[in-house]
Structure 1
């Protein structure tokens, strides 16, 4: 008998407690503990940090090239395509109403939106050395987020999270996210890791009908700002540095069309043109600006001009 076992036996004898477990009871207890840990794995201590480290390792070390989006390789419409994540509601995420707690939605959004931002902007977050042409590293800071809840998610229920770039202005780039039932997102192909030519995705995005709200659990929006040190960098500049914009045609460059030249909305292989990308951004900008106007909430602070209910 080792020292720890002897000490435990001495404590039990001194306290007058006697515990005896049969092998079957020990096995059952370990089995139940294993089930509890496995079913709550995503919400255990430090698992959020583990997932973040795995994401950074995958994008910056092991699969950098295969997980990088560019207009030249995947079409300019890829800037607006979503990243999909499948997840579930562990018991630790359930609140007193016996459904997924509202606060836990933001942990899922962290995972999904981080994946999107790494896929699109890793080349400015951690630039590869290219001599004098090496990009200056930039950080991406979350400036605000909001989530609108529509339907509850039951314990242990599976769901999908999708996030995509909505639009941008002079300072912020806006990302929209949705929590949906499994299978509610039905992409005809995946730009990365798909055998389907990426040129087909332009037709998929271009012909997409208005998304149905059926099967939506919640929707969220976030705004990010790019910083080079303490200097704010315009989103369009960063998007261009990452190679996510198409080449400008003669119209956008201010040139004169030659006979047989491209029309403003035409791009080779059916991908989106510069004009089409800007049109998509402008289409969604009014919705994003409504969210940006919430900055005025800072001016509604109570301050010290009167009494309060109480402190606790």
Structure 2
């Protein structure tokens, strides 16, 4: 019986073989891999109105859940060799690639169901140009290193929105181990998005109502504090958010003095007081407006209906959590002007 010849070691370690192996272990960082990942996440998380309704019905049938609008989405990934820096851990610049992927899952889920109808409505109102979702800023804090090829989760969810910006919170998490080790936060990030139809700003509330995630605004909530109506829109189903934009927009207008945090917090406190009064009139359950941790969000949802008032209270709470961090945008702009 003829013996089977073993290929020489030199042929196994040829440059072609090594190149293929190198590409496989760094597949995430290859050219066009980012585009492929985003397209994949978009199509696998494509929501329709029917899927939105199923999500809402599933939440309403559960006695211990959070409204789907605030539910987090997650991706799991690893950091290949090409993402490491000279300290042999994940480079700070590569965190934004993972954030793009995680936020794509979230924004596809929340905005796609109303995209077609929303575009038609805006066209009928005379707004021209492409409909686009634009990233306004990203702030990231690094808490613990991510080692090469370590598996981690990127979890994102809506924190809040005002009459212009959608605020997204994201967390890089080391999953809990089988040996009883709890989840560990590796990094945290805050992002904000704006929806544009040409040069026209589409309010987030309008987007969420059109997509089916938000109920109609009750008539008794029209007496909330007045707002600057620039770049907002009204429809027969909803009004825009009723407070001025609490999130700084440094690229617009002149370099005005930043709004003190105490003043902004007072504005949100006034809005919360109005909402609590309206909720009491309708018999709806009120949510505390204090700066509670984000983790108990699911626990607070148990046993109470997520009506418009409850969703609005959680939105205001999210603005309170995010506003001081986001105010750094305008303060940094002023620091540049002073210099």
Normalising by structure 2, we get a TM-score of: 0.62
CA contact (8 A) 1:246 1:274 kept: yes
Alignment pair present for 1:218 and 2:197: no
Q: Which is worse superposed, 92-101 or 124-133?
A: 124-133
2:152 corresponds to: 159
Tell me if 1:106 matches 2:96.
yes
- 1:95-150: CA deviation from partner (whole Å, max 9, x where unpaired): 01110000100000000101100011013444499899999873211111110000
Q: Deviation of residue 39 (structure 1)?
A: 1.1
Is the alpha carbon distance of 1:271 and 1:43 closer, same or farther for their aligned partners in structure 2, counting shifts above 3 Å?
Answer: farther
Q: Secondary structure at the match of 2:31?
A: coil
* Residue 239 of structure 1 pairs with residue 225 of structure 2: no
State which of 30, 37, 45 in structure 1 corresponds to 2:31: 45
Matched with 1:229 is: 198
Alpha-carbon offset, residue 57 of structure 1? 3.7
- Structure-2 separation of matches of 1:123 and 1:277: 19
Q: Given the alignment of the two structures, is residue 56 of structure 1 paired with residue 38 of structure 2, yes or no?
A: no
How do 1:1-312 residues align onto structure 2 when only pairs under 5 Å count? 23-29=8-14, 30-59=16-45, 64-65=47-48, 68-70=51-53, 72-75=56-59, 77-127=67-117, 138-183=131-176, 215-247=184-216, 263-265=283-285, 271-296=305-330, 297-301=332-336
Q: Give CA-to-partner distance per residue, 1:233-278, whole Å, 9 cap, x none.
A: 2211111111111356686599xxxxxx9732399x9641111111
Q: TM-score, normalised by structure 1?
A: 0.67
- Indicate conservation of the 8 Å contact 2:75/2:155, yes or no: yes
Distance 1:180 1:250, change over 3 A: same
- Secondary structure of the equivalent of 2:194? strand
Contact 1:59 1:67 in 2 (8 A): no
Helix, strand or coil: the match of 1:95? coil
The offset of 1:27, in angstroms, is 2.3
Displacement of 1:178 = 0.2
Aligned residues: 245
> Distance in 2 between the 1:125 and 1:115 partners?
15
- Counterpart Cα distance in 2 of 1:143 and 1:278: 23
Whose relative contact order is higher, 1 or 2, with alpha carbons under 8 Å and at least 6 apart? Answer: 1
State which structure, 1 or 2, has the greater radius of gyration over its C-alpha atoms.
1
**Take 2:122 and 2:138, find their aligned partners in 1: how far apart are those partners?**
37
Q: Is contact 1:85–1:161 with CA below 8 Å preserved after alignment?
A: yes
In 1: Cα distance, 2:107 partner to 2:155 partner: 13
How far apart, in 2, do the equivalents of 1:129 and 1:290 lie? 33
Taking a change above 3 Å as real, the CA distance of residues 67 and 114 of structure 1, as seen in their structure-2 partners, is farther
Instruction: Tell me the C-alpha RMSD between the 2 structures.
Output: 3.5
SS of structure 2 residue aligned to 1:301: helix
Does the C-alpha gap of structure 1 residues 46 and 253 become closer, same or farther in structure 2, counting only changes over 3 Å? same
Q: How far did 1:230 drift?
A: 0.7
Distance 1:249 1:72 in 2: 19
Q: Is the 1:124–1:138 Cα contact (8 Å) retained in structure 2?
A: no
5+ unaligned residues in a row in structure 2: which ranges? 1-6, 60-65, 224-280, 287-300
